[in-house]
Every structure is written in C-alpha cells, then in structure tokens.
Amino acid sequence: MPVVNSWNEWDTLREVVVGSATGACFEPTEPGNRPQVRGPGDLPFPTGPKSDEAVHRADEQLEGLAAVLAGQGVTVRRPEPYDFSRSLRTPGFEVENQYCAVCPRDVMITLGNEILEATMSRRARYFEYEPYRKLVYGYWEADQRVGWTVAPKPTMADSMYRQDFWEWPLEERHARMHDSEFCVTQDEVVFDAADMSRFGRDILVQESMTTNRAGIRWLKRTLEPKGFRVHPVHFPLDYFPSHIDCTFVPLRPGLILTNPDRPIRDAERRMFTENDWKLVDAPEPVLTNDDMPPYCQSSKWLSMNVLSVSPDTVICEEQEKPLQDLMYSLGFEVLTVPFRDVFEYGGSLHCATWDIRRDGTREDYFP
C-alpha cells in the first residue's frame, strides 16, 4: 500500500497526524473572522499567545488522543513547532498574529494517494500548512506514488471579503445565505479542507463561510479528471456554516451521523437515500452552547466530531454519553477520551487529526 492512502472517513486507520496546541495564539479579528468571548458582557476578545496553562491543558488531551490511537496500533505523527505569535505582512494583507496547529483537518486532506493543501480562508491561517510540510516532504520522498497538490493561494486582500457581512441584520443574513453569500466573495478560489468529506470516488464539499463557489469549481476541475466526483452540499438552516464535520459525518458504508439542527438540502439528500444510506441524527450534546469554553468559536455540535478508527470503532468525547449510547446501539465499539480543553481551538477529535493512511481503496458507493 502507498505510504499515503486514505479514500474515506472510516476504513481502518494505520497512520494519522494529531494536532498540537504548542505555540497557539488567539485568533485575531480580521475580515473573515470576528471572534467573540462567549457569555455575559461584551468583553474584548484577547489577542496574542494563549496562556501556558490553556496550552498545557489542550496538549495533555491531544497527547491522550495520540496515546489511545497508538494503543490501537495506529502510527501517530505530530506537527513541527511553529511560532504563531509572528505577525504577517504580504502584498495583500497584514495580520497581528497567526493561529495554531491544533486542527490539521482544516488545512490538509488526503485524497487517495494524494495530499492536498487547502487555500484557507482567513489571514491568520494563511501559512498553516507549514507545521506539516516536513511530514509532507517525508511522505513525498518516501514513495513516488504519493501526489502533492497545493491549491492557489488567494490574496486575502480586503476585496476578497464582504466587510459588512458581520453587521448584516438577521433578516438580511437569512435572505442572502439562501444564495450562500457569506463573508468571502466569489472572486477568488477559497476553501478550507474541513469543508470536504470523503466517500471513495465521491467527495462532498460544503459551500460555507470558509469555502466559496470558486473553491468548489477549482476542486471539481482538479479532482474530477483524476476520477473523483465532487458534490457541492448545503445545510440551509446553518446560518454560520464552516466545516462539514460537525454537520454530516459518515461512519461506515451506508451510515451517516447527521445534525438535527442542520438538515441537508432535500435534493442533495437523495444521493444517499436512493442508494440506501441511513441518516441518523446525533442526540442533543451534553455541553450546551452556553456551557462552551468562553474563547471557543465553534458550536455545541463539536459533540459529533468523532474520529473513526475503523468501520466498527469510533472515538467519542468522554462526556458525550448520549452520543456514545447511540454509537453502541448502531453496533460500534466506542473508545472515549477527554477533549473539552481542545474545544477553544475550534475543533474536536476529527478536526484535530489528519489521516494519512487507512486500509482500502477507491470504492464507488453511489453507482
């Protein structure tokens, strides 16, 4: 098997990258992101490096995940240290600091025997591929069957964003989001890797705040000649869509964990129902939106951001008992790890990993 080989989200995992909080900073305010402190009051969102304590707590939980994966016989790799506190100045923009390497899933994706680096959509994440480059070179040098594609970098200049997006009144937001108009314009190719979900020959791409239609066109034109089929998907009740893996999570052939607050567009559901796939709603998360960590910009649905170790084994967050019960009832073996201290970095177990090698090959699940 090539050293890079992963065609879907569920086949038996052999090698994975687990993110790291070391060096992490608060995400800065920029045209594509307006982070807010959760809870009462209108506290300013902090800037610069996260506290040593917050980094230590998250790193402990990431290491716990790495240990569980190693215990399952999975080879675990980690990103290189990177100084995220450095400011950036490019011809298109300036930003005071960068973000973190907690969520490799957001920027890196394995599509079969090829590694793809996403454009990313936010300035503070422009160079987020860098902590993974040494690993990528290693795989690319080790096996000539390994492909490596880097998506075109957008300017991330002011003109790439709708600056007024964040001030749109709710009514306007609802009206415009039905045309999938968010903070990023349609002029440049923009996508985060975490808006994609892999089903063998078929790849779903969510149109979102972090992936625009030009990004989806680029993915189609790049991947379809290589034998993939790229399907844009939409979840019209998600008013701030970003990353598909808290919304529509395939668990094994024929089974998808779905978000009851974010049903897929009717026409897009048919691809699954007409091929006898079962869509099962995730239970209400234990952690409510009000209980999420104050600096976390993600939703309570991080609960369903599970990582599949194989078609019959899944890793869930330790406190999400209703989800674990659902998984048992669906016939899964369930492994658990504590992970809530990672949430403020924007992801849970799927986000914080990037699978390099799984068993299996490219199957056609939707003939």
By CB under 6 A, name the binding residues for ligand ABU.
Answer: 194, 242-243, 246, 298-299, 301, 346-347, 351
Which of 11, 59, 106, 192 is catalytic? The answer is 192
Which residues are 280's β-sheet partners? 257
| Contact assessment for residue 355 and residue 305, using Cβ atoms and an 8 Å cutoff | no
Q: What is the nearest approach in angstroms of ligand ABU to the Cβ of residue 366? A: 25
Measure the CA–CA gap between 153 and 217, rounded to whole angstroms: 15
Which residues are 200's β-sheet partners? 364
Tokens for 160, please give them.
Answer: 């790439």
Cα-only R_g, the chain: 19
Q: What is the nearest approach in angstroms of ligand ABU to the Cβ of residue 299? A: 4
For residue 296, indicate whether it is catalytic: no
Nearest CA-CA partner of 258 in 237, 284, 236, 280: 280
User: Between 255 and 282, whose beta carbon lies closer to ligand ABU?
Assistant: 282
User: Between 193 and 351, whose beta carbon lies closer to ligand ABU?
Assistant: 351
| Contact assessment for residue 246 and residue 301, using Cβ atoms and an 8 Å cutoff | yes
Q: What is the nearest approach in angstroms of ligand ABU to the Cβ of residue 21? A: 15
Place of tokens 């699940």: 365
User: Between 100 and 146, whose beta carbon lies closer to ligand ABU?
Assistant: 100
Which of 25, 103, 296, 351 is catalytic? The answer is 351
| Contact assessment for residue 139 and residue 2, using Cβ atoms and an 8 Å cutoff | no
Q: What is the nearest approach in angstroms of ligand ABU to the Cβ of residue 139? A: 25
User: Between 103 and 219, whose beta carbon lies closer to ligand ABU?
Assistant: 103
Q: What is the nearest approach in angstroms of ligand ABU to the Cβ of residue 238? A: 8
Q: In what order do the strands lie in the sheet with 13-18?
A: 75-77, 13-18, 353-358
User: Between 22 and 242, whose beta carbon lies closer to ligand ABU?
Assistant: 242
For residue 351, indicate whether it is catalytic: yes
Which of 59, 243, 341, 355 is catalytic? The answer is 243
For residue 192, indicate whether it is catalytic: yes
Place of tokens 């790291």: 20
Active site residues: 192, 243, 351
